Amino acid sequence: MAKEKKFKPRRSSADVFLNTVLVLVILVVLGLSVYAVGGKIQTKLAEKNQAGEQTEQTQADTYTVQNAADEKGMTFEDFTAEYGLTDVTPEDLMSSVTGNMTCGNYAKYTDTTFEDLVSVNQLPESVTEDTKWSEAQDLIPVGVAMGGEEQFNQMKEQLGLDDSITKDTPSGEAMPIIQEKYAEFMQAQQAAASEAPATEETEGAAEDADNTADGEAASEEPAAENDNAE
């Protein structure tokens, strides 16, 4: 009697990318200079396109100073004066200009208070309302910037960061190291993905050969039984 063949599912080359989502989200968030405000990631990007709600990345690529002024119900001139923006045009992206706001103006822009901005982002006492938001961002603990200790620990494990980077490390110090590790991580993932099709073909050929051999063995067994009976 032929032995029962157990088939193993072939691994898809896409499987090697399943664990990259967390890191991609982290880099999008940090790359956009969007940090925790009011207990969650705020972007001030609420517009939707015809296909549905846009991703934060897509919104950031299209959300201009004029869009922000319109959302606030203000003219471009009043908006830039209100939030202390100079040398900007209506077509400039908000993601590229918010860093030039003072922390006081950024808090006002995001509809929060300076005190809450400092508290939520765990900023040091050296940060004042007159500190540029881009400078304050560099001082936010990387664990806070990434949404919490659990997310930070997952990222740290996934990228293989050593203990020189902790959840309390300032983002400005941590991000160059994280970005370098991320580049290495993605190179390894892409290399594994390029090898996957060849591996799948080899495994598939081996399985087909096993199946053929099993089929031949199964067809020979009845003939052997008949010979014995005679």
Per residue in 77-95, pLDDT tens? Answer: 999 999 999 999 999 999 9
The interaxial angle of helices 21-31 and 171-229, nearest 10 deg, is 160
Q: Which residue has the higher pLDDT, 52 or 159?
A: 159
- Determine the Cα–Cα distance for residues 103 and 125; give it in Å rounded to an integer: 13
Q: What is the mean pLDDT of residues 134-162?
A: 90
Confidence band of 25 (pLDDT split at 50, 70, 90): very low
Q: With respect to residue 74, please indicate whether it lies within any of the assigned structural domains.
A: yes
68 domain-assigned: yes
Question: Is residue 164 within 8 Å of residue 39, measured between CB atoms?
Answer: no
Number of compact structural domains in the chain: 1
Residue 6 located in a structural domain: no
Q: Is residue 93 part of a domain?
A: yes
Least confident segment among 9-18, 49-58, 136-145, 157-166: 9-18
The domain in which residue 179 lies consists of 17-217
Q: What pLDDT does residue 10 have?
A: 37
In a domain, 123, yes or no: yes
Does residue 227 lie within any of the structural domains? no
Mean pLDDT estimate for the chain = 74
d(CA 135, CA 127): 9
Please give the single-letter amino acid code of residue 129.
E
**pTM attached to this predicted model:** 0.63
Q: Is there a domain that residue 26 lies in?
A: yes
Concatenated DSSP letters of the chain = -PPPPPPPPPPPGGGGGGGGHHHHHHHHHHHTT--EETTEE------EETTEEPPHHHHHTT-BHHHHHHHTT--HHHHHHHTT--S--TTSBHHHHGGGSBHHHHHHHTTS-HHHHHHHTT--TT--TTSBHHHHHHHSBHHHHTTSHHHHHHHHHHHT--TTS-TTSBHHHHHHHHHHHHHHHHHHHHHHHHHHHHHHHHHHHHHHHHHHHHHHHHHHHHHHHHHHH-
Is 151 inside any structural domain? Answer: yes
